[in-house]
A and B are shown apart, each in its own frame.
Chain A
């Protein structure tokens, strides 16, 4: 009991003078670890060979993990707010690493369902809890630059694949005579590494004291632009049109980006048939770098130009770039890589900027829980994006249809982004009747949110 009290939110309050720059590595440690899921494709072929099955049953593992990410973030958000970042990070570490360990047992025992349960269900819960756990903490430490703060953390999720991909490849080629026989020890090694890294992050993370503020920064007492001076609970936030407009914004931005990501390798080889398999893998690497860099660069930029404007850039310029890929994509490799690279940087930027956008609109009281609920848009887009692209490409004759097979799906994405652009344009400040009474908001902050705020009764 005494040991577990170390995990309590009250025990994570930083002493006076504690540097806020000691907090981002804790967030990065968690996000770099769970970002491994984006490198799952490295295990796809070895798993197919090991279980002697087709691609679909193996792809289900990844799909379960992503669905569980969205569900646990949506339903666990309030628990995360109540229990604080340290307990949540420990729970995320145990789930994510435990999922890899159980997955290893499933591979060793030739039981695919155990891999579904381990990597998919339990690991997926770890993904969701880990994804949202450091976000609201960082926003509290960087109230003057929330975009930079969330960009730093969420950049890690994009960067996780950059590390896990070559590392997993190396492990698979080290532990066995062939990759299929090395999956279980590779899972065990990754699970142990990520457990240590994530627990170290949990040990380091701290929340700021009640009235802590960055030097020289004074919070505005009044609402300005979209920025609200009041706080809205997660339960009330989902009753506002602003929440659902942002849901559409995130859904459209992710749908457009993930459509390219999922099909990047075959797409570039269809546009440019002379490109080798290795060069196509290089193209996927370029997109991953753009995805990661966009998370930090664009989210930080949003602190300067504003959240609504940056989403106009992501969605408006993104639509123009997609159109450019349709009309000019086949002219040269450089043009194609440039266009799609910028699109992917907007995709990453959209992920990283959304928590700061939510903070502007709904205040910081339960931004983590609200963010968790909004991530259901990610789960939905994860299904919609690849479905749109693959079904339209197949209808046009598949890769044998040449670059023309991609014209319609890319054009559809232009329309998808225009819908998101309109939704973003419609975002207005939240009606103050949704705000918590200011005294309640203050007391919740100081009492470390040990109680769940009651549902706001609206009288309009």
Chain B
């Protein structure tokens, strides 16, 4: 590969890596939302059920 070709390849790799990191960050943020939402759903459902213990 010529140096220009190598440079272009390196540039493409860098761009692809940067793109991959960006999507990983976006996925991590999405995952925070999903797990927080899931936990909230579980806690609310449990509190509703638990309220029957002290509420009669």
CB within 8 Å of B: which residues of A? 15, 18, 22-23, 25-26, 28-29, 32, 156, 159, 161-163, 165-166, 197, 200-201, 203-204, 206, 275-276, 278-283, 285-286, 288-289, 333-334, 337
Contact = CB atoms under 8 A, between A and B. Distances in A.
Given A28-B35, A197-B34, A283 B43 contact: no
- Interface band, chain B: 20 to 34
Contact of B42 (A162, A203, A275, A281): A162
B46 A200 contact: no
A204 B42 contact: no
Contacts of A275: 53
A26 B41 contact: no
B5 interface: no
Given A162-B39, A281-B49, A285-B46, A204 B54 contact: no
B53 A279 contact: yes
11 contacts: A28-B35, A32-B39, A159-B38, A200-B27, A203-B27, A275-B53, A279-B52, A282-B49, A282-B51, A333-B53, A337-B54
Given A162-B45, A204-B28, A333-B53, 12 more contacts: A22-B25, A26-B28, A26-B31, A32-B38, A159-B42, A165-B42, A197-B34, A278-B52, A282-B50, A285-B49, A333-B54, A337-B53
Given A29-B34, A285-B46, A288-B46, A204 B53 contact: no
Contacts of B31: 25-26, 28-29, 200-201, 204
B55 to A, nearest CB: 8
A25 B28 contact: yes
B52 A163 contact: no
B21 A15 contact: yes
Contact of B43 (A156, A162, A282): A162
Contacts of A280: 53
Given A162-B45, A289-B46, A281 B35 contact: no
Contact of B53 (A25, A161, A286, A288): A286
Contacts of B38: 32, 159, 163
Contacts of B53: 275, 279-280, 282-283, 285-286, 333, 337
A203 B37 CA distance: 20
A22 B54 contact: no
